[in-house]
Chain A
Amino acid sequence: MAVDDRPIFVVKGLCVEARSDGRPLNLVDDFNISLSKGEVLGLVGETGAGKSLSMRASVGLLPPAIRAASGSIYFGGRSCSAGETRALRSHLGRGICLLLQNGRSALNPFMRVHAQIDRILSYRGHARQDRRSAIDALLESVGLPSQEIGTRYPHELSGGQAQRVAMTIALASEPLVLIADEPTTALDVTTERDVIQLLLSLCRQRDMSLVLITHNLGLVANNCDRVAIMHAGHVVEIGPTASIFKAPQHPYTLSLLQAIPDVDEPRELIPLTGSSPRPGAFGDGCRFATRCPHVDTDCKARVPDLIAVGDRLVRCVIPKRSKVGTVPGMKREHQAKWPAQSATP
């Protein structure tokens, strides 16, 4: 897939905070991504890693008690500070669209499908007489029969259908960037595959960039050009999907891959100990230090920088120690050597 290299959407140095007892509580720190035209970026991590929060901050949609403390967002030819909520929100529906987890909750329960799409088109300034055919074309592009589905209310749609209608509404404003926040988590796998593939083919047709927020690494492996892995508010590894999945450099990325049950060749799962630290308990050092099997004193002193390792950026000191080989890759010869009882010595 040819990707135009000039970035159209850039988030730089984003830092998101909540206030608790008058003190700022860091939720997302030093978050940087850039998106080229037509590129598909996967944003993965566990619950509370800050995936949704960082993307919401970049479109000015943070919940009331949470604010963007620093950072800048570039879109549509100009930059603005992450604190300028109003300016950021003005992009929504005019170049950036959000697709949320539950399609049905994005729809108005009292309006028929046709009427909801019609409203968006009228905001966009489509003439009344053209709208009907535009609605039919949009519904058809997501594989829904307009005659049958258009007159239904959201509660009469299945989960997959509702997500497709939500997608139609996002597409109606012809965005350049679509941010899909767990768009298929509520769907069954067979439907999930159809919806994701539809989403990707629409991106390709319209040369639309996509940020796919998900906790499903399998989805990312098959569908994203690049992937950013988040842990406790930090991006810990970002780069081309294929190479990261082949040879992860950050211990967290590796442990995520080792924790997923394989369908075709079952192997022993190597779970991480504990769970991600909560905001406020991040400490001064690497936020993965408490769970990392390779931790040493360097790690606890300060947060490691994102350093370039080959074709990607990694927030870890291990690759710098030039002992990359000590982090076992996903290669098959390593699998037999994995300790059977525990990953941590």
Chain B
Amino acid sequence: MTDLVPKAVATTMDTSPVLAVRGLSKSFGRSASADMLAPGCHDISFDLMPGETIGIVGESGSGKTTLGRCIAGLLPSDVGVIEFDGRDIATMTREERRDFRRRVQIVFQNPDNALNPRMTVGSFVAEALKNYGLGSKDERRGRLLELAALVGLRDDHIDRFPHQLSGGQKQRVSIMRALACEPNIIVLDEPTSALDVSVQAQVLRTLRDIQERRSVSFVLISHDVGVVRYMCRRLMVMYLGRVVETGSTEAVVAEPAHPYTRALVDAVPRLRRTHERDFRLLSDTATRRTAAAACQLRLRCPLATDACAMTPPMRQVGDRHDAACWSVQPSRLGDSQS
């Protein structure tokens, strides 16, 4: 039976992280002017435990997809270290890297672009198995059936082409291929934003069921706070390339500390009027970008002061809940814990 809140990994404390990201930066092109931050992500650090789901939320241009692609090894980082299973992915040997590629998979937002229109579901997924020499031909067929059942596809879907499937089914095929090689981590880059709500619900439930059965870790990138709240125990909020708040999803959503998170949580349209707070950023009609050395939210933040000309450090605001904002009073929890 599934719980109403995402399950914590029972042994979070005494296992080592499957993925450790330290000071990761990746930027593209040049910024508008020399002292501004280039698009991309900057100075990101976090750990991912086996079987855990971490959510990454932020608006478009916040660098969440860049971060996801760096983790999946699709983009080399400029600065910083990504350690998978204790090994730095930048310095892996050929064999190690091949193993890494098998064990870290990615599911893209739009399944239409991710599937090969000329290959049936079966041959498309079996290609991944073949590539890593997993199983004989007969074993592979059995494996395909097993995988199809796992992601909620019927046996007869295996012989279909992508154009014969609906959007939700295509996304299941993407997930199926990602799962084929028994990965340790799947990066889910907006896996449901191209889907309708009823289909989104099916896919999200499937993902949670899969996680309970196989202890795979997810990095869930989304702009939908509701989706992240449903899927993740822990959450990172990004704004223009930097992480501005991190903590348990429950705490971040209930007690957001950073002004961007507050505005984000308050702006989510709700079905029932359960939410009274209404914190707003200044209108988006002015320029957003500010100097790289400053807090990136500065020009839109109603709480901005002179102090915001310097990038605020991450400070603890609650139990394992950190935010990067000068306006936030750091909690004393940190003293008592350390």
Do A and B interact? Answer: yes
Is B94 part of the contact surface with A, judged by Cβ < 8 Å? no
Q: How many A-B residue pairs have CB under 8 A?
A: 140
- A273 surroundings in chain B (CB, below 8 A): 202
Taken together as a complex, chains A and B put the C-alpha atoms of A222 and B60 apart, in Å, by: 24
In the complex, the 9 A-B pairs of residues with the closest C-beta atoms, listed nearest first: A218-B269, A271-B201, A261-B226, A188-B59, A259-B201, A46-B196, A271-B202, A261-B230, A269-B201
- B270 surroundings in chain A (CB, below 8 A): 218, 221-222, 262-264
Query: Looking at the complex, which one of A143, A264, A268, A341 makes contact with B283 (CB distance below 8 Å)?
Result: A143
- B143 surroundings in chain A (CB, below 8 A): none
Q: A190-B280, A221-B269, A276-B196 are in contact. List 16 more A-B contacts (CB 8 A).
A: A161-B285, A189-B225, A189-B269, A215-B197, A218-B271, A255-B198, A262-B271, A263-B226, A263-B253, A266-B230, A267-B4, A269-B204, A269-B205, A270-B201, A275-B166, A275-B198
Taken together as a complex, chains A and B put the C-alpha atoms of A39 and B296 apart, in Å, by: 40
B1, A340: Cβ atoms under 8 Å?
yes
B284, A160: Cβ atoms under 8 Å?
yes
Using an 8 Å CB-CB cutoff, how does the interface string of B102-123 with A read, 1 for contact, 0 for none? 0000000000000000000000
- A158 surroundings in chain B (CB, below 8 A): 284, 288
A47, B196: Cβ atoms under 8 Å?
yes
Taken together as a complex, chains A and B put the C-alpha atoms of A193 and B60 apart, in Å, by: 15
Question: How many residues of A sit at the interface, in one of the four size bands?
Answer: 35 or more
Using an 8 Å CB-CB cutoff, how does the interface string of A191-210 with B read, 1 for contact, 0 for none? 11110000000000000000
Main secondary structure of the interface of B (DSSP, over half): loop
- A272 surroundings in chain B (CB, below 8 A): 198, 201-202
- B5 surroundings in chain A (CB, below 8 A): 266
Main secondary structure of the interface of A (DSSP, over half): loop
Is A144 part of the contact surface with B, judged by Cβ < 8 Å? yes
A259, B230: Cβ atoms under 8 Å?
no
B197, A259: Cβ atoms under 8 Å?
yes
Residues on A close to B: CB < 8 A?
46-47, 143-145, 149, 158-161, 164, 188-194, 215-219, 221-222, 245, 255-273, 275-276, 330, 340-341
Known: A261-B224, A271-B202. A222 touches B267 (CB 8 A): no
Is B227 part of the contact surface with A, judged by Cβ < 8 Å? yes
- B338 surroundings in chain A (CB, below 8 A): none
Question: How many residues of B sit at the interface, in one of the four size bands?
Answer: 35 or more
- A191 surroundings in chain B (CB, below 8 A): 59, 284
Q: What distance in Å separates the Cβ of B270 from its nearest Cβ neighbour in chain A?
A: 6
Taken together as a complex, chains A and B put the C-alpha atoms of A263 and B281 apart, in Å, by: 20
Is B199 part of the contact surface with A, judged by Cβ < 8 Å? yes
Q: What distance in Å separates the Cβ of A294 from its nearest Cβ neighbour in chain B?
A: 16
- A160 surroundings in chain B (CB, below 8 A): 284-285
Known: A192-B267, A217-B271, A271-B205. A260 touches B226 (CB 8 A): yes
Using an 8 Å CB-CB cutoff, how does the interface string of B14-55 with A read, 1 for contact, 0 for none? 000000000000000000000000000000000000000000
B269, A219: Cβ atoms under 8 Å?
yes
Q: What distance in Å separates the Cβ of A38 from its nearest Cβ neighbour in chain B?
A: 22
Which chain B residue has the least Cβ–Cβ distance from A291? B198
Query: Looking at the complex, which one of B197, B263, B274 makes contact with A46 (CB distance below 8 Å)?
Result: B197
